[in-house]
Structure 1
Amino acid sequence: MHIRLAALAIVIATVLLSFNKPSKSGSDFSQLTQSCLGNKGGAAHVVAACATVIEGASATPKKQNSLLRSRGWAYCRDKQYDEAISDYTNALVLFPNHPQSTLWRAIAYYAEGDVQSAETAYEKALSLAPNSTDALFHKAKFDQDQGNTSAAIQGLEEVLDLDPSYEGAGSVLINTRYDAYGYDGFEQFLTHAEQRWPDQTWVHFSRLIYDLRFTGDHERALSASTELARLEPGLTYELFVPAMIHLRIGDEDTGIKLVSEYADRVIQRDLAELAFHKRWYRKALNWLVLGQNEEWVHRYVALAHFGRPDLATSELESFLEDTGGNGRKILLRVMRRAGTSVPREADAGSVEHLTPQLKIT
């Protein structure tokens, strides 16, 4: 008999827990209950904890229902959908019209590939809780997968009517409308969304990406970045995105000014942005002796990431010119210790053989 490793782990965990079966009043039992109901820990641990509590407790139907649903969700996390469906079904025996159990069983049905049962369960969940954003969202995604675009759009719009900030709903609706109606339909809805939901980040982020990738309307992209900076203050939308846009349209003076401010503030706040590159250069403490500081690193990498390898290369050349052979040796040594393959031509003074390894081509 072949037993899946995940299932075997659950069996082992259950056996281990049963050696010292906790009493209902003990602290261990309380911890297991918390692990089960809170879905804390790995799926195998949660399933085993739930099984021990279910077997050892004379719980009320309401509590039993909660335990079954928690174990069902742990089974779903572990992709054991048959077991999850069984737990949700047993929970529904106790409370036949429980909206959450019905919805979660629909999700498990669909994950298992039983489309017909999933559709029936989704419709039942919505009949029980017509204003449930969770039910509306998952049913809309189901409709989208099944090619029922109009139903998907209607469901997603209902979600946003109830909760404009519902995670993922706005982005999914934007993409669904684009697939269904193309640029014109997309633009029409996006304009409507900007007026109706001016304080939702997904609206302005969609505008930013749309104008940068498709329309080339950089003024609107800058306006979207300003709105995003208002809603989510920080370097990304205050400096990073505006710098990228100004450099893209050829406004180098403004772009370089923003890049310099970005680099300076990254250092001041010691942010994790560009951390991979920072790790390379922080090993080269000799830079301090050479009179260099980390601002050069951030300015160089920022220019590269903003799509201006010419300006980034200029920064690199300036660094090598200022530091001479010692600077080149330090740079090459750090790159190679970091696992980057650098052609030997770079040792002889070729900047062209450095830039591809620094990801600015």
Structure 2
Amino acid sequence: MRIRLAALIIVIATLLLSFNSVSKPTTNYTELASSCLGNKGGMSNVVVACTTLMKAEEITPASEARLLRARGWAYYCGEQYDRAVSDYTSALALHPNDPHSILRRAFAHDLSGNVQAAEGDYAKALLLDSNSTYALYNKAKFDWRQEKIPAAIQGLERVLEIDPGYDGAGLVLADAHYDLDGVDGADQFLQQAKRRWPDQKWVYDAQMNLTLMYTGDHESALQASSVYARLSPGIINELFIPAMIHLKIGDEDKGIDYVSEYADRSVQQGLEDLRFYKRWYRKTTNWWVLGQDEEWLYRFMSYAMLGRTDLAKAEIDDFLRDAGENGRKIVVSVIRRAGVPVSQEAQAGSSGPLNDAIADYVDHLAKTSGFREFGPPKEG
């Protein structure tokens, strides 16, 4: 997590006061501190910056500990967990009982496979601040990964007691109840959650996940999506998610209607998610002359991301029939920009290879969107 700008400026200023700039006049400490504390330029750059700053004369122990924490985080982000542990340990020698260093060291121990050390550091962090939602949440996720489901549930419940809207905690808690007691246990928890936290979005997000992936209770999914859209208005929640649900439950006409309205409102509002495609599309060809509008982009990509590659392919086929050679060039360029290979034959317009490239492209969108997993209810 990057340091916020205002906090970063204060920390940099504090550090600069501890450096002897007279003895090292050629060193740009401001730039080094910005790289080190702002985690800028990749792991190697951050490590060099932090290390250089630690060699400055008359650096205070507090500043050295801060730099060690910053370098430790760079090592952690670069997956050099042993070095991260070493830096956090050194920081703690200078600044004992710092919950930030203890917790970050727990992360590094965890990912390096040292479960016992990670557990010990999580416990130390919570002894220092038993109401830290960040520490409680990460300790609960650690317990969940270790298959200590009751402990994970207890920790997540504590997080939600302190902050009912804590990002991710409710969804993980629903998953933990599923792991402990299956579909019935997760559903029972969510029914209680609706009464306990009726205005929390995660409750209805989890309900949609459960019903679409496991129970097949389509009415429950639609009700949950309606409340979710009310709590968080916007065309994604009001139109895209209902489109997904209707297409998944087999109400194809309704799903297509939602996608069409989503495409129309997306064009009107200039939605950011496809703005790149719109700019490039306009530069590539005169879409008014072709008789096409920008809604085409939203429709085919929406269908593909929702796992309905057949409908996405049909949209592209319709576009190619109307747009001819210029349309083919557009489609080929869009496919290539997504990193999907396009053969010379497809680029030249050979129908078989072009169809294969289009099929690969829409399948790529479906796989990378994350929505395809919401298929028929799983057995068992």
Q: Please report the TM-score for the alignment, with normalisation by the length of structure 1.
A: 0.76
**Residues 322-333 of structure 1: pairs in structure 2 closer than 5 A:** 323=322, 327-333=323-329
Contact 1:23 1:29 in 2 (8 A): no
Q: Residue 300 and residue 83 in structure 1: after superposition, are their counterparts in 2 closer, same or farther (change >3 A)?
A: closer
Q: Answer with 1 or 2: which has the greater Rg.
A: 1
Q: Residue 267 and residue 92 in structure 1: after superposition, are their counterparts in 2 closer, same or farther (change >3 A)?
A: same
CA distance in 2, matches of 1:355, 1:96: 59
The secondary structure found in structure 2 opposite 1:198 is coil
Contact 1:140 1:155 in 2 (8 A): yes
Aligned-pair distance for 1:187? 0.5
Q: Residue 296 and residue 113 in structure 1: after superposition, are their counterparts in 2 closer, same or farther (change >3 A)?
A: closer
Q: Which amino acid aligns with 1:69?
A: R
CA distance in 2, matches of 1:264, 1:246: 18
Unaligned runs of 5+ in 2: 1-19, 337-341, 367-380
Q: CA RMSD in A?
A: 3.7
Match of 1:201 in 2: 201
Contact 1:300 1:315 in 2 (8 A): yes
Q: Residue 85 and residue 23 in structure 1: after superposition, are their counterparts in 2 closer, same or farther (change >3 A)?
A: farther
The secondary structure found in structure 1 opposite 2:157 is helix
Larger relative contact order (Cα-Cα within 8 Å, sequence gap ≥ 6): 2
Match of 1:37 in 2: 37
Unaligned runs of 5+ in 1: 1-20
Q: Please report the TM-score for the alignment, with normalisation by the length of structure 2.
A: 0.73
> Is residue 2:179 matched to residue 1:183?
no
Aligned-pair distance for 1:42? 1.9
> Is residue 2:167 matched to residue 1:167?
yes
Contact 2:309 2:362 in 1 (8 A): no
**Residues 42-53 of structure 1: pairs in structure 2 closer than 5 A:** 42-53=42-53
Q: Residue 28 and residue 218 in structure 1: after superposition, are their counterparts in 2 closer, same or farther (change >3 A)?
A: same
Q: Deviations over 1:169-215 (max 9, x none)?
A: 22222212211110111001111222222333322111112222222
CA distance in 2, matches of 1:105, 1:216: 42
Match of 1:335 in 2: 331
Q: Residue 57 and residue 108 in structure 1: after superposition, are their counterparts in 2 closer, same or farther (change >3 A)?
A: farther
CA distance in 2, matches of 1:250, 1:264: 23
Q: Residue 90 and residue 343 in structure 1: after superposition, are their counterparts in 2 closer, same or farther (change >3 A)?
A: closer
Q: Residue 57 and residue 250 in structure 1: after superposition, are their counterparts in 2 closer, same or farther (change >3 A)?
A: same
**Residues 71-150 of structure 1: pairs in structure 2 closer than 5 A:** 71-150=71-150
Q: Deviations over 1:100-135 (max 9, x none)?
A: 222222222222222222222222222222112222
Q: Which amino acid aligns with 1:267?
A: V
Instruction: Give identity over the alignment, percent.
Output: 50
User: Which range is displaced more, 249-258 or 159-168?
Assistant: 249-258
Match of 1:69 in 2: 69
Q: Residue 162 and residue 333 in structure 1: after superposition, are their counterparts in 2 closer, same or farther (change >3 A)?
A: same
CA distance in 1, matches of 2:324, 2:219: 41
> Is residue 2:362 matched to residue 1:359?
yes
Q: Deviations over 1:310-352 (max 9, x none)?
A: 766776676677x4xxx444444443454546879x9689x99
Q: Which amino acid aligns with 1:74?
A: A
